[in-house]
Amino acid sequence: MEPILWFGWFRADIIAEYGVMFWRGLQMTILVTTICIMQGTALGLAIGLARLADARHSPARQICRYLLRWPSTVYVSFFRGTPLFVQILLIHFAVLPLFINPADGLLISGETARSLKQNYGAFISGILALTLNSGAYISEIFRAGIQSIDRGQIEASRSLGLSFARTMTHVVLPQAFRRMLPPLGNNAIALLKDSSLISAIGLAELAYTARTVAGAYSRYWEPYLSISFMYWTLTLGLAWAVKKLEARYGRGDTR
């Protein structure tokens, strides 16, 4: 391919040559981010509630304390207190082979394990690591959001005869969700950017593509500037979507 120079120095032909890979990488980045945002939010809600779990009478009181609050606190502390990069490597090279392994996988072994690992190994590990990591951060957002709701709201709801679960779903969480939207949006943007770390275990997303191109041509401006613009566009899109959501759900909040 003939070198095509933009502005006298930008080798556009390199990007065109790897166009398919950039396109697939972009799709992979979006897919991973979307899955992790959804799973991380669900996990974060569960962990956030577990961290707030309490009951008035034993044995429920002890169950809440030892089976819900303590494990979830340790979980959050671990995933917030260790680097995501380390978590990805740990899960991919240590934890996952324990469970999915052709020789002696605890969960899946044999030929299934082999084909699973080869086709989806990095994908599974990456999603797992990013979900667990963002779940820990999101649980803190949920916890703070729930705790920010005035006790009077819960009392009013309970005194109308709504159960704890209904009070949560109809009264507390909808209000908390509004307040959590900005931090959740920040978290989603962080997650999008952090997904680039999964390239280290060979998942063909955007950063991996850029690394491939840089490796082949020893040129850095073209691939990394290109993916920077792609990430930037995506984060701008996410920020815009969060703003729309805030405008839509922001009514009625007196704060």
Partner 1 sequence: MDEVIRVEGLTKNFGQLQVLRGIDCSVRSSEVVCVIGPSGSGKSTFLRCLNGLEEASGGRVLVHGVSVHDNSTDVDALRSEIGMVFQRFNLFPHMTVLDNITLAPTKVRGVPLEQAREQARALLIKVGLLDKIDAYPNQLSGGQQQRVAIARALAMQPAIMLFDEPTSALDPEMVGEVLSVMQTLAEEGMTMMVVSHEMGFARRVANRVLFMDEGVLVEEGTPEEIFDRPREERTRRFLSNIL
Partner 2 sequence: MNLLKKIFLPLGLLALVAANVHAQTKELVVGSSATYRPFAYENPAKEIVGYDVDIIKAVAQKAGLQIKIVNTPWTGIFAALNNGDVDLVISGVTINEKRKQSYDFTAPYFEARQLIGVHKDSTAKGLKDLAGKKVGVVTGSTGDDIASREFGKTSPDIKRFESTPVAISELANSGVDAVIGDNGVIAFRVQEHKQLKTVSDPNFPKEYFGIVVKQGNKALLDKLNAGLAAIKADGTYAKIYKTWFQSDAPALPAQ
DSSP category for residue 200 = G
Strand stretches in 28-173, DSSP E: none
Candidates 24, 114, 166, 219; binder of partner 1 (CB under 8 A) is 166
Q: What does the alpha-carbon distance between residue 52 and residue 58 come to, in Å, rounded to a whole number?
A: 16
Between 153 and 212, CB nearer to partner 1: 153
Residue 201 near residue 26, CB atoms below 8 Å? no
Partner interacting with residue 79 (select from partner 2, partner 1, none; CB below 5-8 Å by kind): none
Between 23 and 78, CB nearer to partner 2: 23
Q: Is 187 helix (H, G, I), strand (E, B) or coil?
A: helix
Between 97 and 145, CB nearer to partner 1: 145
Q: What does the alpha-carbon distance between residue 156 and residue 153 come to, in Å, rounded to a whole number?
A: 5
Candidates 174, 202, 215, 237; binder of partner 1 (CB under 8 A) is 174
Q: Return the percent helix, strand and coil in the chain, to nearest 5.
A: 80, 0, 20
Candidates 52, 212, 239, 249; binder of partner 2 (CB under 8 A) is 212
Partner interacting with residue 56 (select from partner 2, partner 1, none; CB below 5-8 Å by kind): partner 1
User: Does 137 sit near partner 2 (CB under 8 A)?
Assistant: no
Partner interacting with residue 214 (select from partner 1, partner 2, none; CB below 5-8 Å by kind): partner 2
Between 4 and 216, CB nearer to partner 2: 216
Partner interacting with residue 81 (select from partner 1, partner 2, none; CB below 5-8 Å by kind): none
Between 113 and 168, CB nearer to partner 2: 113
Phi-psi region of 218 (alpha: psi -120 to 50; beta: other; left: phi over 0): left
Residue 8 main-chain phi, psi, to 5 deg: 80, -10
Candidates 157, 199, 209, 226; binder of partner 1 (CB under 8 A) is 157
User: Does 21 sit near partner 2 (CB under 8 A)?
Assistant: yes
- Residue 247: CB atoms within 10 A of its CB come to 9
Residue 12 near residue 6, CB atoms below 8 Å? yes
Q: What does the alpha-carbon distance between residue 26 and residue 34 come to, in Å, rounded to a whole number?
A: 12
Which residues of this chain interact with partner 1, rule CB under 8 A? 56-57, 150, 152-153, 155-163, 166, 170-171, 174-175, 178, 251-254
